[in-house]
Protein backbone atom coordinates (compact mmCIF):
# COMPACT_ATOMS: atom_id res chain seq x y z
CA UNK A 1 0.00 0.00 0.00
CA UNK A 2 1.27 3.47 -0.84
CA UNK A 3 2.35 5.64 2.05
CA UNK A 4 1.68 8.84 0.11
CA UNK A 5 -0.98 11.00 1.67
CA UNK A 6 -3.24 13.59 0.06
CA UNK A 7 -1.17 16.55 1.24
CA UNK A 8 1.99 15.13 -0.35
CA UNK A 9 0.11 14.24 -3.52
CA UNK A 10 -1.25 17.78 -3.85
CA UNK A 11 2.14 19.34 -3.13
CA UNK A 12 3.63 17.45 -6.09
CA UNK A 13 0.73 17.94 -8.48
CA UNK A 14 1.61 20.07 -11.55
CA UNK A 15 -1.25 22.51 -10.95
CA UNK A 16 -1.70 25.95 -9.43
CA UNK A 17 -1.06 25.66 -5.67
CA UNK A 18 -4.29 27.59 -5.12
CA UNK A 19 -6.20 24.82 -6.90
CA UNK A 20 -4.49 22.22 -4.72
CA UNK A 21 -5.41 24.26 -1.65
CA UNK A 22 -9.10 24.14 -2.59
CA UNK A 23 -8.97 20.36 -2.88
CA UNK A 24 -7.27 20.31 0.50
CA UNK A 25 -10.00 22.29 2.24
CA UNK A 26 -12.70 20.17 0.57
CA UNK A 27 -10.99 17.12 2.05
CA UNK A 28 -10.91 18.84 5.45
CA UNK A 29 -14.61 19.64 5.23
CA UNK A 30 -15.37 16.04 4.30
CA UNK A 31 -13.56 14.80 7.41
CA UNK A 32 -15.89 16.99 9.47
CA UNK A 33 -18.96 15.73 7.58
CA UNK A 34 -17.74 12.17 8.04
CA UNK A 35 -17.69 12.72 11.80
CA UNK A 36 -21.36 13.68 11.84
CA UNK A 37 -22.29 10.78 9.52
CA UNK A 38 -20.47 8.34 11.81
CA UNK A 39 -22.35 9.58 14.87
CA UNK A 40 -25.60 8.63 13.18
CA UNK A 41 -28.55 8.32 15.51
CA UNK A 42 -26.34 9.08 18.52
CA UNK A 43 -25.80 12.62 17.23
CA UNK A 44 -28.17 15.54 16.81
CA UNK A 45 -28.22 15.71 13.00
CA UNK A 46 -30.48 12.82 12.03
CA UNK A 47 -33.94 13.07 10.51
CA UNK A 48 -35.82 15.36 8.17
CA UNK A 49 -35.61 19.10 8.66
CA UNK A 50 -39.15 19.84 7.50
CA UNK A 51 -38.01 22.15 4.70
CA UNK A 52 -37.30 21.75 0.99
CA UNK A 53 -34.23 22.68 -1.02
CA UNK A 54 -34.25 24.55 -4.32
CA UNK A 55 -34.87 21.21 -6.06
CA UNK A 56 -38.15 20.73 -4.17
CA UNK A 57 -36.72 17.83 -2.17
CA UNK A 58 -37.20 17.33 1.55
CA UNK A 59 -33.99 18.35 3.30
CA UNK A 60 -32.38 16.16 5.92
CA UNK A 61 -30.68 17.81 8.87
CA UNK A 62 -27.39 16.40 7.65
CA UNK A 63 -27.96 18.02 4.23
CA UNK A 64 -28.03 21.48 5.76
CA UNK A 65 -25.26 20.78 8.25
CA UNK A 66 -23.00 19.39 5.51
CA UNK A 67 -23.71 22.40 3.32
CA UNK A 68 -22.81 24.78 6.14
CA UNK A 69 -19.57 22.87 6.84
CA UNK A 70 -18.54 23.08 3.17
CA UNK A 71 -19.25 26.81 3.02
CA UNK A 72 -17.39 27.62 6.23
CA UNK A 73 -14.27 25.50 5.76
CA UNK A 74 -13.81 25.90 2.01
CA UNK A 75 -14.03 29.70 2.16
CA UNK A 76 -10.57 29.65 3.78
CA UNK A 77 -8.87 28.61 0.54
CA UNK A 78 -7.00 31.43 -1.25
CA UNK A 79 -8.11 31.78 -4.83
CA UNK A 80 -11.61 30.46 -4.20
CA UNK A 81 -13.93 33.23 -5.37
CA UNK A 82 -17.40 31.70 -5.06
CA UNK A 83 -19.28 28.48 -4.37
CA UNK A 84 -22.51 26.92 -5.61
CA UNK A 85 -24.38 24.08 -3.95
CA UNK A 86 -27.24 21.80 -4.85
CA UNK A 87 -28.83 22.93 -1.59
CA UNK A 88 -28.75 26.67 -2.36
CA UNK A 89 -30.80 28.65 -4.85
CA UNK A 90 -27.96 30.90 -5.95
CA UNK A 91 -24.21 31.28 -5.54
CA UNK A 92 -22.22 32.03 -2.37
CA UNK A 93 -19.59 34.72 -3.09
CA UNK A 94 -16.29 34.45 -1.21
CA UNK A 95 -13.92 37.12 -2.57
CA UNK A 96 -13.22 39.27 -5.60
CA UNK A 97 -11.43 37.63 -8.51
CA UNK A 98 -7.70 38.29 -8.36
CA UNK A 99 -5.77 39.68 -11.36
CA UNK A 100 -4.37 36.19 -12.03
CA UNK A 101 -7.87 34.72 -11.94
CA UNK A 102 -9.46 32.36 -9.48
CA UNK A 103 -11.64 29.33 -8.99
CA UNK A 104 -15.26 28.32 -8.54
CA UNK A 105 -16.33 25.38 -6.37
CA UNK A 106 -19.56 23.45 -6.95
CA UNK A 107 -20.77 20.65 -4.70
CA UNK A 108 -23.51 18.33 -3.64
CA UNK A 109 -22.78 18.33 0.09
CA UNK A 110 -24.51 15.04 0.86
CA UNK A 111 -25.54 12.93 -2.11
CA UNK A 112 -27.99 10.12 -1.34
CA UNK A 113 -29.15 11.68 1.91
CA UNK A 114 -32.53 9.92 1.68
CA UNK A 115 -30.57 6.76 2.52
CA UNK A 116 -29.20 8.09 5.81
CA UNK A 117 -31.88 6.46 7.95
CA UNK A 118 -31.23 3.00 6.48
CA UNK A 119 -27.44 3.23 6.87
CA UNK A 120 -26.58 3.04 3.15
CA UNK A 121 -23.40 4.68 1.80
CA UNK A 122 -23.77 8.37 0.98
CA UNK A 123 -21.25 10.94 -0.14
CA UNK A 124 -20.07 14.41 -1.15
CA UNK A 125 -19.46 15.34 -4.82
CA UNK A 126 -17.42 18.38 -5.88
CA UNK A 127 -16.17 20.15 -9.00
CA UNK A 128 -13.76 23.04 -9.56
CA UNK A 129 -13.98 25.47 -12.49
CA UNK A 130 -11.80 28.44 -13.43
CA UNK A 131 -13.22 31.93 -13.26
CA UNK A 132 -13.80 33.41 -16.73
CA UNK A 133 -10.93 35.33 -18.29
CA UNK A 134 -12.84 38.62 -18.08
CA UNK A 135 -13.63 38.26 -14.37
CA UNK A 136 -10.44 39.74 -12.91
CA UNK A 137 -11.08 42.52 -10.40
CA UNK A 138 -14.80 41.94 -9.98
CA UNK A 139 -17.21 39.81 -8.01
CA UNK A 140 -18.35 36.48 -9.44
CA UNK A 141 -21.83 36.25 -10.93
CA UNK A 142 -24.07 33.23 -11.37
CA UNK A 143 -23.44 33.36 -15.12
CA UNK A 144 -19.72 32.74 -14.46
CA UNK A 145 -20.58 29.22 -13.28
CA UNK A 146 -22.39 28.26 -16.49
CA UNK A 147 -19.45 26.49 -18.11
CA UNK A 148 -19.50 23.10 -19.83
CA UNK A 149 -18.00 20.13 -18.03
CA UNK A 150 -14.91 20.14 -20.27
CA UNK A 151 -13.83 23.29 -18.43
CA UNK A 152 -13.48 21.45 -15.12
CA UNK A 153 -9.99 21.54 -13.61
CA UNK A 154 -10.66 19.05 -10.83
CA UNK A 155 -13.49 16.90 -9.58
CA UNK A 156 -14.03 14.22 -7.02
CA UNK A 157 -16.27 12.59 -4.50
CA UNK A 158 -16.03 11.25 -0.99
CA UNK A 159 -18.02 8.13 -0.15
CA UNK A 160 -18.98 7.61 3.51
CA UNK A 161 -19.21 3.84 3.76
CA UNK A 162 -17.43 0.99 5.56
CA UNK A 163 -14.35 2.97 4.54
CA UNK A 164 -14.37 6.70 3.91
CA UNK A 165 -12.71 7.22 0.54
CA UNK A 166 -12.00 10.15 -1.76
CA UNK A 167 -11.73 9.62 -5.51
CA UNK A 168 -10.06 12.58 -7.21
CA UNK A 169 -8.94 13.83 -10.59
CA UNK A 170 -6.88 16.93 -11.33
CA UNK A 171 -7.28 16.31 -15.05
CA UNK A 172 -4.54 13.68 -15.47
CA UNK A 173 -5.89 10.35 -14.28
CA UNK A 174 -7.76 9.33 -11.13
CA UNK A 175 -6.42 8.59 -7.67
CA UNK A 176 -8.12 7.26 -4.54
CA UNK A 177 -7.43 8.10 -0.92
CA UNK A 178 -8.75 6.34 2.18
CA UNK A 179 -9.32 8.20 5.44
CA UNK A 180 -7.31 6.78 8.33
CA UNK A 181 -9.75 6.97 11.26
CA UNK A 182 -6.88 6.98 13.75
CA UNK A 183 -5.26 10.21 12.64
CA UNK A 184 -7.66 11.78 10.14
CA UNK A 185 -5.13 11.50 7.31
CA UNK A 186 -6.03 10.71 3.70
CA UNK A 187 -3.75 7.86 2.57
CA UNK A 188 -3.37 7.18 -1.15
CA UNK A 189 -4.66 3.67 -1.82
CA UNK A 190 -4.82 3.80 -5.64
CA UNK A 191 -2.69 5.88 -7.97
CA UNK A 192 -4.34 4.90 -11.25
CA UNK A 193 -8.00 3.94 -11.07
CA UNK A 194 -9.03 2.46 -14.41
CA UNK A 195 -12.49 1.37 -15.58
CA UNK A 196 -12.43 -1.81 -17.72
CA UNK A 197 -13.85 -1.27 -21.21
CA UNK A 198 -16.01 -4.41 -20.96
CA UNK A 199 -18.39 -5.32 -18.15
CA UNK A 200 -21.13 -7.69 -17.03
CA UNK A 201 -22.76 -5.29 -14.61
CA UNK A 202 -25.17 -2.39 -14.86
CA UNK A 203 -26.99 -0.12 -12.40
CA UNK A 204 -30.43 1.33 -13.06
CA UNK A 205 -33.74 1.65 -11.23
CA UNK A 206 -35.85 -0.98 -13.01
CA UNK A 207 -38.98 0.26 -11.24
CA UNK A 208 -38.99 2.92 -13.96
CA UNK A 209 -38.88 0.41 -16.84
CA UNK A 210 -42.25 1.42 -18.27
CA UNK A 211 -41.14 5.06 -18.51
CA UNK A 212 -37.85 4.62 -20.38
CA UNK A 213 -37.11 5.61 -23.95
CA UNK A 214 -36.82 2.74 -26.42
CA UNK A 215 -32.99 2.73 -26.65
CA UNK A 216 -32.61 2.31 -22.88
CA UNK A 217 -35.29 -0.41 -22.81
CA UNK A 218 -33.49 -2.28 -25.59
CA UNK A 219 -30.16 -2.08 -23.80
CA UNK A 220 -31.52 -3.35 -20.47
CA UNK A 221 -33.64 -6.06 -22.12
CA UNK A 222 -30.58 -7.39 -23.92
CA UNK A 223 -28.57 -7.43 -20.68
CA UNK A 224 -31.36 -9.28 -18.88
CA UNK A 225 -31.61 -11.84 -21.69
CA UNK A 226 -28.24 -13.12 -20.55
CA UNK A 227 -26.19 -15.78 -22.28
CA UNK A 228 -29.16 -16.84 -24.43
CA UNK A 229 -29.69 -13.28 -25.69
CA UNK A 230 -27.89 -11.12 -28.26
CA UNK A 231 -25.16 -10.11 -25.78
CA UNK A 232 -24.18 -13.74 -25.24
CA UNK A 233 -23.30 -13.26 -21.58
CA UNK A 234 -25.01 -12.96 -18.22
CA UNK A 235 -25.21 -9.56 -16.51
CA UNK A 236 -25.71 -8.61 -12.88
CA UNK A 237 -27.82 -5.60 -11.93
CA UNK A 238 -26.91 -3.45 -8.93
CA UNK A 239 -28.81 -0.43 -7.63
CA UNK A 240 -28.07 1.38 -4.36
CA UNK A 241 -30.02 4.59 -5.17
CA UNK A 242 -27.08 6.67 -3.96
CA UNK A 243 -25.16 8.01 -6.97
CA UNK A 244 -21.87 8.16 -5.10
CA UNK A 245 -22.16 4.51 -4.07
CA UNK A 246 -23.25 3.31 -7.51
CA UNK A 247 -20.57 5.27 -9.37
CA UNK A 248 -17.91 4.22 -6.87
CA UNK A 249 -18.66 0.60 -7.73
CA UNK A 250 -18.24 1.43 -11.42
CA UNK A 251 -14.98 3.25 -10.72
CA UNK A 252 -13.72 0.32 -8.64
CA UNK A 253 -14.59 -2.64 -10.90
CA UNK A 254 -16.34 -1.44 -14.04
CA UNK A 255 -19.96 -1.37 -15.06
CA UNK A 256 -22.53 1.14 -16.24
CA UNK A 257 -24.59 3.60 -14.19
CA UNK A 258 -27.78 4.96 -15.78
CA UNK A 259 -30.32 7.51 -14.65
CA UNK A 260 -31.81 8.36 -18.06
CA UNK A 261 -34.56 10.62 -19.31
CA UNK A 262 -38.03 9.12 -18.95
CA UNK A 263 -41.48 10.05 -20.19
CA UNK A 264 -43.00 10.97 -16.83
CA UNK A 265 -41.66 14.52 -17.28
CA UNK A 266 -40.90 14.62 -21.00
CA UNK A 267 -39.78 18.24 -21.02
CA UNK A 268 -37.13 17.65 -18.36
CA UNK A 269 -33.81 16.26 -19.56
CA UNK A 270 -33.41 13.99 -16.54
CA UNK A 271 -33.44 13.89 -12.75
CA UNK A 272 -29.80 14.34 -11.77
CA UNK A 273 -28.09 17.73 -11.70
CA UNK A 274 -25.65 18.52 -14.48
CA UNK A 275 -23.36 20.80 -12.48
CA UNK A 276 -23.28 19.00 -9.14
CA UNK A 277 -23.56 15.34 -10.15
CA UNK A 278 -23.35 14.54 -13.87
CA UNK A 279 -20.37 16.70 -14.87
CA UNK A 280 -18.01 15.84 -12.00
CA UNK A 281 -18.82 12.13 -12.26
CA UNK A 282 -18.43 12.17 -16.05
CA UNK A 283 -15.06 13.90 -15.69
CA UNK A 284 -13.87 11.24 -13.25
CA UNK A 285 -15.16 8.39 -15.40
CA UNK A 286 -13.51 9.72 -18.56
CA UNK A 287 -10.24 10.31 -16.72
CA UNK A 288 -10.38 6.64 -15.65
CA UNK A 289 -10.79 5.44 -19.25
CA UNK A 290 -14.58 5.23 -19.27
CA UNK A 291 -17.15 7.28 -21.16
CA UNK A 292 -20.32 9.27 -20.57
CA UNK A 293 -23.43 10.04 -22.60
CA UNK A 294 -26.56 12.10 -21.93
CA UNK A 295 -28.73 10.76 -24.74
CA UNK A 296 -27.55 13.49 -27.13
CA UNK A 297 -23.78 13.59 -26.83
CA UNK A 298 -20.90 13.58 -24.38
CA UNK A 299 -22.04 14.79 -20.96
CA UNK A 300 -19.02 17.08 -20.66
CA UNK A 301 -19.97 18.91 -23.87
CA UNK A 302 -23.56 19.65 -22.85
CA UNK A 303 -24.41 23.39 -22.98
CA UNK A 304 -25.03 24.83 -19.51
CA UNK A 305 -27.89 27.29 -19.27
CA UNK A 306 -28.88 27.13 -15.59
CA UNK A 307 -27.21 26.57 -12.24
CA UNK A 308 -29.60 23.76 -11.31
CA UNK A 309 -29.96 22.24 -14.76
CA UNK A 310 -31.02 18.58 -14.95
CA UNK A 311 -29.42 15.92 -17.14
CA UNK A 312 -29.84 12.38 -18.34
CA UNK A 313 -26.88 10.33 -17.10
CA UNK A 314 -25.27 7.23 -18.60
CA UNK A 315 -21.64 6.58 -17.73
CA UNK A 316 -19.13 3.80 -17.15
CA UNK A 317 -17.32 1.16 -19.22
CA UNK A 318 -16.54 2.60 -22.65
CA UNK A 319 -17.80 -0.33 -24.76
CA UNK A 320 -21.20 -0.23 -23.06
CA UNK A 321 -21.54 3.53 -23.44
CA UNK A 322 -20.65 3.15 -27.13
CA UNK A 323 -23.50 0.64 -27.45
CA UNK A 324 -25.95 2.96 -25.69
CA UNK A 325 -24.83 5.80 -27.96
CA UNK A 326 -25.41 3.62 -31.04
CA UNK A 327 -28.90 2.67 -29.86
CA UNK A 328 -29.74 6.36 -29.43
CA UNK A 329 -28.67 7.20 -33.00
CA UNK A 330 -31.49 7.96 -35.48
CA UNK A 331 -31.28 4.46 -36.94
CA UNK A 332 -30.06 2.83 -33.75
CA UNK A 333 -33.10 0.66 -33.07
CA UNK A 334 -32.95 -0.96 -36.50
CA UNK A 335 -29.33 -2.13 -36.23
CATH number, position 85: 3.30.540.10
Examine residue 182 and state whether it is found in any structural domain, yes or no: yes
Both 166 and 273 in one domain: the answer is no
Its domain, for residue 88, covers 6-190
Examine residue 246 and state whether it is found in any structural domain, yes or no: yes
Q: How confident is the model at residue 323 (pLDDT cuts 50, 70, 90)?
A: very high
Both 89 and 162 in one domain: the answer is yes
User: What was the pLDDT predicted at 55?
Assistant: 62
Q: How confident is the model at residue 39 (pLDDT cuts 50, 70, 90)?
A: confident
Both 71 and 102 in one domain: the answer is yes
Q: Under a CB-based contact definition with an 8 Å cutoff, are residues 178 and 296 in contact?
A: no
Examine residue 1 and state whether it is found in any structural domain, yes or no: no
DSSP string across 73-91: HHTTSTTEEEEEETTSSS-
Buried b (16+ CB within 10 A) or exposed e, 247-286: bbbbbbebbbbbbbbbeeeeeebbbbbbbbbbbbbbbbbb
Both 250 and 129 in one domain: the answer is no
Rounded Cα distance, 209 and 204, in Å: 9
Residue 123 φ/ψ, nearest 5 degrees: -170, 180
Both 130 and 274 in one domain: the answer is no
Q: Under a CB-based contact definition with an 8 Å cutoff, are residues 234 and 202 in contact?
A: no
H helix runs in 13-159, sequence order: 17-39, 61-74
Q: Which of 2-16, 53-67, 147-161, 174-188 has the lowest mean pLDDT?
A: 53-67
Domain final residue pick, 134, 157, 190: 190
Rounded Cα distance, 291 and 275, in Å: 17
Both 56 and 80 in one domain: the answer is yes
pLDDT at 115 over 90: no
Instruction: Find the mean pLDDT for residues 239-253.
Output: 96
Examine residue 62 and state whether it is found in any structural domain, yes or no: yes
Query: What is the residue-averaged pLDDT of the chain?
Result: 93
Rounded Cα distance, 260 and 143, in Å: 27
Reported as a single tens digit per residue, the pLDDT across 63-99 is 999 999 999 999 999 999 999 999 999 999 999 999 9
Instruction: Find the mean pLDDT for residues 209-228.
Output: 97
Examine residue 196 and state whether it is found in any structural domain, yes or no: no
Domain final residue pick, 164, 190, 216: 190
Both 145 and 20 in one domain: the answer is yes
User: What was the pLDDT predicted at 2?
Assistant: 47
Both 166 and 212 in one domain: the answer is no
Examine residue 305 and state whether it is found in any structural domain, yes or no: yes
Examine residue 51 and state whether it is found in any structural domain, yes or no: yes
Both 86 and 16 in one domain: the answer is yes
User: What was the pLDDT predicted at 3?
Assistant: 77
More confident residue, 269 or 54: 269
pLDDT at 45 over 60: no
Both 186 and 271 in one domain: the answer is no
Rounded Cα distance, 258 and 316, in Å: 9
Both 225 and 150 in one domain: the answer is no
Based on the number of CB atoms within 10 Å of its own CB, is 114 exposed (0-12), middle (13-18) or buried (19 or more)?
middle
Strand (E) or helix (H) holding 157: strand 154-160
Q: What is the CATH number of the domain that holds 218?
A: 3.40.190.80
Domain count, the chain: 2
Domain final residue pick, 142, 157, 190: 190
Both 52 and 164 in one domain: the answer is yes
Examine residue 195 and state whether it is found in any structural domain, yes or no: no
Amino acid sequence: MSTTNLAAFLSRAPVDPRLSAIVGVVAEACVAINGHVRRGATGQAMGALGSQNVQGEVQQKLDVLSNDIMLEICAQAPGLCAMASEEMETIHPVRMVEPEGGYLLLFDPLDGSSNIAVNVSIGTIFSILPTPEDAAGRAVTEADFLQPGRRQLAAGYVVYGPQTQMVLTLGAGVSAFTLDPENGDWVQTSATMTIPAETREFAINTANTRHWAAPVSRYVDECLAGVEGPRGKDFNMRWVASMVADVHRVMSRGGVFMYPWDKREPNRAGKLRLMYEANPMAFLVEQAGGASFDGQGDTLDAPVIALHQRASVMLGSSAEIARLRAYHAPDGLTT
